[in-house]
Chains A and B, each alone.
Chain A
Amino acid sequence: MIIGNDEIIKIKGLKTYFHTDDGVVKAVDGVDFDIRKGETMGLVGESACGKTVTSFSIMRLVESPPGKIEEGEVLYKGENLLKISQEKMRKVRGNEISMIFQEPMTSLNPVFTIGKQLSEVLILHQNMTEKEALDKSEEMIKLVGIPRPREILKGYPHELSGGMRQRVMIAMALSCKPGLLIADEPTTALDVTIQAQILELIKGLQESIGMAVLFITHDLGVIAEVSDRVAVMYAGKIQESGTSEEIFIEHIHPYTEGLLKSIPMLNVRKKKLDVIEGSVPDPINFPPGCKFHPRCKYKIDKCEKEEPELLEIKPGHFVRCWVKQ
Chain B
Amino acid sequence: MGNNNVLEGIEEKIDYTVAKKPVTLRSIIWKRFKKNKLALVGLILISILVIVAIFANFIAPYPATTVDYANKKLPPSKEHILGTDELGCDVLSRLIYGARISLSIGLVAVCLYVSIGILIGAISGFFGGWIDAILMRFTDVIISFPWLVLVILVAAILGPSIYNVMLIIGLTGWSTVARLVRGEFLKLKEMEYTLAARGLGANNFRIIFTHLLPNAFAPVLVAATMGVADAIIIEAALSFLGLGVVFPDTSWGQMMHAAQSLTVLSRMPWLWLPPGILISIAVLCINFIGDGLRDALDPKLIR
- Contacts from A to B (Cβ < 8 Å): 21, 272, 274-275, 277-282, 285-287, 294, 297-298
Contact = CB atoms under 8 A, between A and B. Distances in A.
Interface in B1-59: 3-7, 9, 11-17, 35
A275 B17 contact: no
Interface majority SS (helix, strand, loop, mixed), chain B:
loop
Contact of B17 (A277, A282, A298): A282
Interface residues of B, number: 14
A284 to B, nearest CB: 10
Nearest to B5: A297
A277 B7 contact: yes
A163 B46 CA distance: 55
B16 A285 contact: yes
Given A297-B3, A297-B5, A277 B16 contact: no
A278 B5 contact: no
Contacts of B17: 278-282
Nearest to A287: B16
19 contacts: A275-B6, A275-B7, A275-B9, A277-B11, A278-B12, A278-B14, A278-B15, A278-B16, A279-B12, A279-B15, A279-B16, A282-B17, A285-B16, A287-B14, A287-B16, A294-B13, A294-B16, A297-B3, A298-B3
A282 B16 contact: yes
A281 B18 CA distance: 10
Contact of B6 (A274, A281, A286, A287): A274
Contacts, number: 35
Contacts of B15: 278-279
A236 to B, nearest CB: 14
A277 B12 contact: yes
B198 to A, nearest CB: 29
Which 4 A/B pairs are nearest by Cβ-Cβ distance?
A275-B9, A281-B16, A294-B14, A279-B17
A298 B17 CA distance: 21
A129 to B, nearest CB: 42
A287 B15 CA distance: 10
A322 B289 CA distance: 53
A297 B4 CA distance: 8
A312 to B, nearest CB: 22
Contacts of A287: 14, 16
A138 B17 CA distance: 50
A202 to B, nearest CB: 32
A51 B9 CA distance: 27
A26 to B, nearest CB: 14
A21 B13 CA distance: 28
Contacts of A282: 16-17
Nearest to B15: A278
Contacts of A297: 3, 5
Contacts of B9: 275, 277
A281 B6 CA distance: 21
B31 to A, nearest CB: 8
Nearest to A280: B17
Contacts of A275: 6-7, 9
Nearest to B16: A281
A150 B5 CA distance: 60
Contacts of A21: 35
Most B CB contacts (10 A, CB to CB) among A278, A285, A286 go to A278
B37 to A, nearest CB: 13
A47 to B, nearest CB: 12
Nearest to A274: B6
A319 to B, nearest CB: 15
B152 to A, nearest CB: 46
Contacts of B6: 272, 274-275
B9 to A, nearest CB: 4
Nearest to B3: A297
Contacts of A280: 17
Contacts of B35: 21
A293 to B, nearest CB: 9
Nearest to A21: B35
A21 B296 CA distance: 14
A2 B250 CA distance: 86
A298 B1 CA distance: 10
A274 B11 CA distance: 14
A183 to B, nearest CB: 26
Contacts of B11: 277
Contacts of A298: 3
Given A275-B6, A277-B7, A278-B17, 10 more contacts: A272-B6, A275-B7, A277-B12, A278-B14, A279-B16, A281-B17, A287-B14, A287-B16, A294-B14, A297-B5
A303 to B, nearest CB: 12
A285 B5 CA distance: 28
Nearest to A275: B9
Most A CB contacts (10 A, CB to CB) among B7, B13, B17 go to B17
Nearest to B31: A21
A232 B15 CA distance: 23
Interface in B143-162: none
A275 B6 CA distance: 7
A285 B17 CA distance: 9
